[in-house]
Amino acid sequence: MRVLVAVKLTYDINQLKFEKDGTPLLDACPRVMGEADKCALEEAVKLKDAGKAEEVTVLTIGSSKEHQRILKDAYAMGATKAVMVKVDDPDSLSALSVARIISSYAEKTGPYDLILLGSGAGDTHSSVVGPMVASLLGVPLLANADRVSVENGSVTIVSTLEDGQYKFTSKMPAVVTVTSEANEPRIPTIRDILRSKKKPIDETTPEELGAHVSKINIESIIKYEVPRKRVKIDATDNVEEAVEKLIKALEEEGVI
Amino acid sequence: MVDFEFSEDEIRFRDSVREFAKRYIEPKWVEIDEKGRIPMDLIKRIADQGLFAIPVPEEYGGMGGTMVMTALAVEEIAYHDPAVAVAVYTLLNNGWPLALALFGQEEAKMEVLPKVASGDAFFGIASTEPQGGSDVAGNKTVAKKVGDKWVINGEKAFISGIREIQELPEGGGFFLVAKTEKPGWSHKRITDFVVLPKWNGKIREEWKPTVYEEIGRHGLSTGGFTLENFEVDDKYRIGEVNKGFYLVLQGFNIARILVAAATVGSARWALDRAKEWLRTRKLFQGRPIASFEGVSFRYAELYTMVEAARYFVYKAAWMADNIYLSKSPRFKPQDLNLPVAMAKMLGPTVTTEVYTEVLKWFGAYGYTKECNAHRGWLGTFSYTIGAEGAQNIMKYIIARDTLGSDAVRNVWAKEEE
C-alpha cells in the first residue's frame, strides 16, 4: 500500500504571542509542521509500522530551509520519501492551487491507495484543500477523522460531528483528512533525527507537475480578531446558584 | 569564526526533548517530588526516547550524540522538572556512561553500557566517603589485587541512585574510586572500577546499602553503602592501575557540565514563572510589580547571570566534544578544567539566587507549597553544596588555572606512600 501525506509549514500556535490590540506577532512565532498534518503523518507511519503500508511519501510546498526542516522531521517520524514542490512565497497560493499541486503529484507518481492531510492548517484553517484534492482526483473523501483504520482494501474513519460520532467506510483509493485529536504524534529520537539529516529530499515544481497555480494578493489586513464573549456571574452571596448559572451559560455555548 | 547558534540538528533535538518533557515529565514533576520516586515507566520512556547514553558511541548501545546535545537534553528536562530529580537521573546516566566509554575496558563497556542506554540499569559515580567528597586523594576505600581479581573494602556516602539500582530490573552500579592496595593520602595510588552491586537482577550480599532522607530533589535517592570483600574481575578496572585519579577528574568534568545545565534549566523555569507574575501582579493602583525598579532590575541581573551560566555550559560542552568525541588536537583534557569549573561555579550559585528572589517576588504565596517554587529551590541547592564538586573546589580550580599553580596553595603537597 502506498500513502501520500501532504504537510504544511505553519505557525506554532502554542508559541504565538499577540499585541495588545490582538495583532498576532507572526514574525516572532516559530514555524513548524501543522498540528493536524503531523497527526495525518502519524496515522500513515502507524500503517507502515503495522505492515499495511510500504511507502509513506510526504509532500510539502515551499522552498525555504524551514520547509526542508519539516521534511527532515517527517523522515525522523518514519516517512520513506520526502518531496518539496518548490514555490516561492507558498503562503500566497490559493487553496485550489495547493490542491492542484497535490493532486498533480499524486497523478504523476501514483497510484496512491491513501492520501492523508490535516483537516485544517494552523494558520488559515480553511479545511478545503482535502476536499478539493479528492474532487480533482475523483476519489472519495472522508473528512475530519478522529480515528483511521485500514482493512481489506477499505479505509474506515470515526468522525465527531455536532450530534455525535459517525463511522464512515470507503474503498480505497481515498482522501482522508485527519484532526489534531486523532493521535499523539511520536516524538523523534536522537537517532531518528541524526539519520534523517542524510536522507534525500526530492524536488519538483508546479510547472513540472503540470499544475496550474494562481496567487492571492492580500492588499491589507484590517484587523485580527478572535471574538470572545464575557459572561459575569456574581458568586459573592450564593455560590451554588452561581455554579448553576455558570453551567447553564456553558451549556448555552455548547461547551459542555 | 564565532558562531553562537546551535546547529539545525541540535535545535531539532532540543525541540524533540522539549516536546517529550512537556508531554511526559512536566505533568508528573510535583508528584515525583512529593512521592519521592521517579516512576519506573517514566524511566523506561526516557530510555525509549534515547535520552540515556546520548554521547556514548552507537557500538555500545549509545545514541552517538554529543555533549552539547546531552546538555541541551538535561537543560530541557530540568526546565520541565525544576526539582531536578529526573534531570539528575538523566545526567548521571549520560556523563558516567561516557566516562566508562572513554576509559573502560571493551568487555565491560559492551556488557554495561547497552543496559544503561535501554534504561534497565543505572550507572552513576561512587567517589565521596563519610569523611568528605572534595578530598578524593584522601579516600579510604581500598582495592587489593588477589589472584586475578580485585577485592574491595570500604564505605561510600552521599551516592545517587542507591534505591533505583535495587528497583531497576537489571540493577546497575558505579564508576567507583578506590585506593590501590592500601589506604593513605595519595592521588598517585588511585584506581577506578566498574562496581555493579546489582547486576542481571541479582543483588550482591557484600554490598550493604542505606538510603538517606534529604530536604529536596526527593525523586532521586541518595544513600551510602559499605563494600565487604567485594570481588571484581579485572575486566571491570577502568584505565591503568594508579591512574584513576586523573580519569575520575575527567569524569567529573563531563558530569559537572551537565549538573550546571540542570541548574540553568531549573533557573529558567523559575524566571519564566516569575516573568508572568511580575507582568500581571498589580499593586498600588494597578501598577504591575515589574514597573518597580527594585524588582525589574533584579530580574534583569538574574536573567543575565543565568544566560552567562548557559554560555559557560555550552562552551564547556563544545570543548568536551572537541576533546573526547571529535578528538581535536586543539585542546587537551586539562583545558576543560577552567570552563567547566566556571560553569559549575556559576550555574548552581545563580540558580539559588534566582529562587531566593523568585520566592520573595511571589510574596506569601511563594512560601506555600502550592506555589511549588520551593521544590526547585531545595532541589538545586544540593548543587551549591557539592555533587560532582563543591563550589570552593570550583574556585580553587579557577584560581589555580588563572593565577598559576605556583601561586595558589598546592593541596597535593603531602603524598603518603
Asked whether residue A176 falls in the same domain as residue A248, the answer is no
In this predicted structure, the answer to whether residue A219 has a pLDDT above a threshold of 80 is no
CATH 1.20.140.10 holds for B244-403: yes
Residue A78 sits in a domain whose CATH number is: 3.40.50.620
ipTM score assigned to the predicted complex:
0.85
Is beta strand A9-11 parallel, antiparallel or unpaired with respect to A31-33?
A: antiparallel
A128 exposure class (CB count in 10 Å sphere: 0-12, 13-18, 19+)? middle
Please check whether residue A215 lies inside any domain of the structure: no
| CA B373 and chain centroid, separation | 21
* Nearest CB neighbour to B16, from listed A65, A69, A193: A193
Please check whether residue A216 lies inside any domain of the structure: no
User: Please, are residues B366 and B274 in contact by the beta-carbon 8 Å criterion?
Assistant: no
pLDDT at position B413, please? Answer: 56
Contact residues for B73 (Cβ-Cβ < 8 A; gap 6+): B13, B14, B17, B51, B54, B90, B94
Please check whether residue A164 lies inside any domain of the structure: yes
- A71 to chain B, any CB pair closer than 8 A? The answer is no
Report CB contact under 8 Å: A184, B54: no
Chain A residue with Cα closest to B12: A193
pLDDT at position A228, please? Answer: 64
Strands of A174-178's sheet in order across: A141-145, A174-178, A114-118, A2-6, A55-61, A81-85, A201-204
CA distance B77 to chain A (A): 15
Question: Residue B6 and residue A242: Cα distance in Å, rounded?
Answer: 52
Report CB contact under 8 Å: A190, B69: yes
pLDDT at position B243, please? Answer: 96
From chain B, pick out residues whose CB is under 8 angstroms from the CB of A77: none
B332 exposure class (CB count in 10 Å sphere: 0-12, 13-18, 19+)? exposed
Give me the residue label for grid cell 498589580. Answer: B282
Question: Residue A245 and residue A234: Cα distance in Å, rounded?
Answer: 10
Q: Can you read off the three cell numbers belonging to residue A211? A: 499544475
Asked whether residue A196 falls in the same domain as residue A231, the answer is no
Domain count, chain A: 2
- Helices in B55-210 by DSSP H: which ranges? 67-80, 85-103, 106-117, 162-167
Asked whether residue A171 falls in the same domain as residue A67, the answer is yes
Asked whether residue A199 falls in the same domain as residue A242, the answer is no
Asked whether residue A56 falls in the same domain as residue A23, the answer is yes
Q: What is the arithmetic mean of pLDDT over A77-101?
A: 94
Give the start-to-end residue ranges of the domains of chain B: 8-117, 123-238, 244-403
- A69 to chain B, any CB pair closer than 8 A? The answer is yes
Question: Residue A254 and residue B65: Cα distance in Å, rounded?
Answer: 49
Give the angle B241-B246-B248 at the CA atoms, nearest 5°. 90
Asked whether residue A60 falls in the same domain as residue A148, the answer is yes
**B23 to A30, A213, B46, B61, B237: CA distances (angstroms):** 19, 40, 12, 25, 40
Q: What is the b/e burial string over A234-254, where b = at least 16 CB atoms within 10 angstroms of the residue's CB?
A: eeeeeeeeeeeeeeeeeeeee
Question: Residue B115 and residue B117: Cα distance in Å, rounded?
Answer: 5
In this predicted structure, the answer to whether residue A220 has a pLDDT above a threshold of 80 is no
Please check whether residue A52 lies inside any domain of the structure: yes
Helix (H) or strand (E) segment spanning residue A59: strand A55-61
Please check whether residue A7 lies inside any domain of the structure: yes
Please check whether residue A217 lies inside any domain of the structure: no
The ranges of chain B with pLDDT < 70 are: 410-417
Q: Can you read off the three cell numbers belonging to residue A212? A: 496550474
User: Please, are residues B24 and B370 in contact by the beta-carbon 8 Å criterion?
Assistant: no
- B13 to chain A, any CB pair closer than 8 A? The answer is yes
In this predicted structure, the answer to whether residue A125 has a pLDDT above a threshold of 80 is no
Question: Residue B165 and residue A183: Cα distance in Å, rounded?
Answer: 35
Report CB contact under 8 Å: B64, A191: yes
* Nearest CB neighbour to B63, from listed A76, A184, A190: A190
Beta-bridge partner residues of B108: none
Higher pLDDT, A23 or B28: B28
Please check whether residue A139 lies inside any domain of the structure: yes
Residue A217 binned pLDDT confidence (cut-offs 50, 70, 90)? confident
Asked whether residue A143 falls in the same domain as residue A20, the answer is yes
Asked whether residue A201 falls in the same domain as residue A240, the answer is no
Q: Can you read off the three cell numbers belonging to residue B143? A: 582495592
Please check whether residue A214 lies inside any domain of the structure: no
Asked whether residue A251 falls in the same domain as residue A149, the answer is no
Q: Provide the residue range defining the domain that includes A240.
A: 226-256
CA distance A184 to chain B (A): 10
Q: What is the pLDDT of residues B169-180, one digit of tens each?
A: 999 999 999 999
- The CATH number assigned to the domain with range B8-117 reads 1.10.540.10
Asked whether residue A194 falls in the same domain as residue A236, the answer is no
Give me the residue label for grid cell 484590517. Answer: A222
Q: Which CATH architecture has domain B123-238?
A: Beta Barrel (2.40)
pLDDT at position A22, please? Answer: 75
Report CB contact under 8 Å: A189, B12: no
Contact residues for B317 (Cβ-Cβ < 8 A; gap 6+): B66, B67, B68, B70, B71, B257, B261
**A120 to A138, A145, A164, B278, B286: CA distances (angstroms):** 21, 12, 20, 37, 41
Q: What is the pLDDT of residues A139-186, one digit of tens each?
A: 999 999 999 999 999 999 999 988 889 999 999 999 999 999 999 999
- Helices in A50-144 by DSSP H: which ranges? 65-77, 95-109, 129-137
* Nearest CB neighbour to A189, from listed B9, B49, B58: B49
Beta-bridge partner residues of A148: A157
Asked whether residue A251 falls in the same domain as residue A158, the answer is no
Residue A224 binned pLDDT confidence (cut-offs 50, 70, 90)? low
B409 exposure class (CB count in 10 Å sphere: 0-12, 13-18, 19+)? exposed
Contact residues for B219 (Cβ-Cβ < 8 A; gap 6+): B32, B33, B35, B36, B37, B38, B81, B83, B85, B86, B89
Asked whether residue A53 falls in the same domain as residue A170, the answer is yes
